[in-house]
Structures are given as C-alpha cells and as structure tokens.
Homo-oligomer: A and B are copies of this chain.
Amino acid sequence: MPETLTATREITMGEAVREALAEEMRRDPRVFVLGEDVAEAGTAFKVLNGLVNEFGPERVLDTPISEAGFTGIAVGAAMTGMRPVVDIMFGDFIGLTMDQMVNQAAKVHYMSGGKWKVPMVMRTTLGATRRSAAQHSQSLHAWFCHIPGLKVVLPSTPYDAKGLMKSAIRDENPVVFFEDKMMFRLKGPVPADEYTIPLGVADIKREGDDVTIVATSSMVQVALGAAAMLEEYGISAEVIDPRTLWPLDEKTLIESAKKTSRVIVVDEGYGRYGATAELASVIAEGAFFDLEAPVKRIGAMHVPIPFSPPLEDATVPTEKAVFEAARVLLGKN
C-alpha cells in the first residue's frame, strides 16, 4: 500500500468493488454492468446495491439466466466501443461461458492480427465454506489462467480489490476478476482518493525470513493467520500475494524464495492441476538452487465440495494446515 494516504477509510471488500465500479462508470460512459439480478437486487451478494439508482437500468442491465449469451454479448459490445463488466454470480457457472471467454474473448485480438480489441471484465466469485455444495463453491480460476489472451485477477483485500478492479476496467483486454464470496464483508483501509493498482505486480503482505508463503485470494488471510501462529514459534514467514495470476510477477516470488529458501503455495482451487502447480513450478525454476526443500503446495482437496459442514471444512486449506506445513518444511515439527 502506498506510504502517504490522505483520508483512508475502513470499508468492506464488497464496498470497495462497488466504489471501483461506480467511479469508473462516472469516469467513462462506455462502462456498463450486465448480469443476473444486478440492478434492483444489486446481485445475489448485494455488492452492487444502489448502482442502478445512480446509473439507470441501461448501465446496470439485468439479463436473463443466459451466462453464455450475455458473456458473448459483452464480447461484441467490447469490440464495438463499450466497456462491459459481466457479472457471473457464482464462479461455478463459468463452465457455461468457457467457449465465449476462451474461443472468442481471448482470441479475437490475436486472430484479427491485432485489429479488434475486447476490453471487458468478467466479475465472478470463488471460495467454499458457505455450505453451498458442489455446484456453488468452486474456485476455478486455473482454467482461465491457462488461456493466453486473458488476464486473471484475484484480490485479497478491499484496497487491492478497488485498485485492481479499476485497472481491470481500463485494461484493453478481457480480464477475469475473481472475488471470494466469504470476503465481501472483510474490512480494510481504502483511501478516499483515486488510485489504481497495476496488473502484474505482486504484493508482499508480510515480510519474513524463514519461509515464504505465496497465497491467493481467500488464502491470503489464511496465510497471514498461519504466519501469526508461526511467529509464536519463532518462525518468521513472508506472505506474498501475486494479486494477478496472469500476468504473473515471477520476480517477486522468486526473490522471496531465494531469500527464505523454503516455500509454501496456497490456493483455494482444487489442488491437482491447479494454480499451485504453476506457482510452484515457476518458483522451482527460478530458485531451485536456493531451495532447501521442494515447494509445498496446498490446495483444496481433490473432491467435489461436499455440503455437510464437517466434510466441507476438511476440503479447504486452513491456517493450521499451512502452519504445520511450514513447521515440517523447517524441520521444526
């Protein structure tokens, strides 16, 4: 976070996203939001509450339940002069939009030899533990990370959410913005003044020397919790949030890995073939000869997410799991 801030308030992550949208909609008349129940209802999570009052139903546009269709409409509108922000209520529903996002949005610029551009944002959610079961709890961002032509943002604080959302909207490319459903009420300091955060710059959420914990989105708080626990055991953990998984700030990750020589990567996506694999590989490639041990990956258990609370809780990475992994890594367990 910048050093000199005037008038910093504590607001929630949901409010931060709404502010970013409202500011960008004021700044640029081409920006508009579309999705299911975004207008009067302000989305299922109420994050957009009030936007329709300021901007009217044409710029906060309720759609039918047609994720593929309205994502495709956003692609076309983006190509022809608008800057749409598509709202996909649950990240689990992105399966319906993969063709539009991957075969269309991500490729239009390249396939046209750079002639057409697709400046759009898809806002969607990730994160479990809401007892929403297997079709409403997934963190599927790894799919989009795999696709050239897309950018992928995973904010972990209100400050980051606002600054990154503004950059995402101003970006000339399709950007997918994943918000953790469980963090909408998380509060944090956010300056009243205008600011943006560039895509592609990791943030060191906590400095430390003994172990690096690379964490994304919901897992940043988990990592910080684990770091606090480790501190009591005399272990100094550095917590790094890449903030955008593509573009990826490899340098910051690798430098920290070189410094601490032990790394844990935590992400709420399924643990196999997920974001942790790429992050671990990038770190191993860049800091191999400085590492004391293989990069430890922690992701969601490789099972569909169960409804029953004790089962669901067992699938998600916890502070304790990260704490213990760090101790094992340091041989202090």
CB-based closest 6 A-B pairs = A95-B98, A95-B99, A277-B277, A288-B294, A145-B273, A146-B273
Tell me if A278 is interfacial: C-beta within 8 Å of chain B: yes
Do A306 and B99 have beta carbons less than 8 Å apart?
no
Give the contacting residue for A277; candidates B281, B288, B306; CB below 8 A: B281
10 further A-B contacts with Cβ under 8 Å, apart from A103-B135, A149-B304, are A93-B99, A98-B98, A98-B143, A107-B304, A110-B306, A146-B274, A276-B281, A277-B277, A280-B284, A284-B295
Question: In the assembled complex, how far is the CB of residue A111 from the closest CB belonging to chain B, in whole angstroms?
Answer: 5
Known: A96-B98, A107-B135. A293 touches B302 (CB 8 A): no
Determine the chain B residues whose CB is within 8 A of the CB of A297 once the complex forms.
281, 285
A278 touching B284, Cβ below 8 Å: no
* A188 CB to nearest B CB, Å: 28
Interface status of A77 (Cβ within 8 A of chain B)? no
A69: interface (CB < 8 Å): no
A207 to chain B, nearest CB (A): 26
Q: Of the candidates B148, B274, B288, which one forms a contact with A293 in the assembled complex, judged by CB atoms under 8 Å apart? A: B288
Q: Is B98's CB under 8 angstroms from A303's CB?
A: no
- Give me the interface of A with B, judged by CB distance under 8 Å: 92-96, 98-103, 106-107, 110-111, 133-135, 140, 142-143, 145-149, 245-246, 269-270, 272-278, 280-281, 284-285, 288, 291, 293-295, 297, 302-304, 306
Residues of B within 8 A of A146 (CB): 140, 142-143, 269-270, 272-274
Q: How far is the CA of A191 from the CA of B62 in the complex (A)?
A: 60
Q: Are B110 and A102 in contact (CB under 8 A)?
A: no
**A96, A99, A107, A110 — most chain B CB neighbours (10 Å):** A99
Chain B residues, Cβ within 8 Å of A95 = 98-103
Complex CA distance for A111 and B133, rounded to whole angstroms: 8
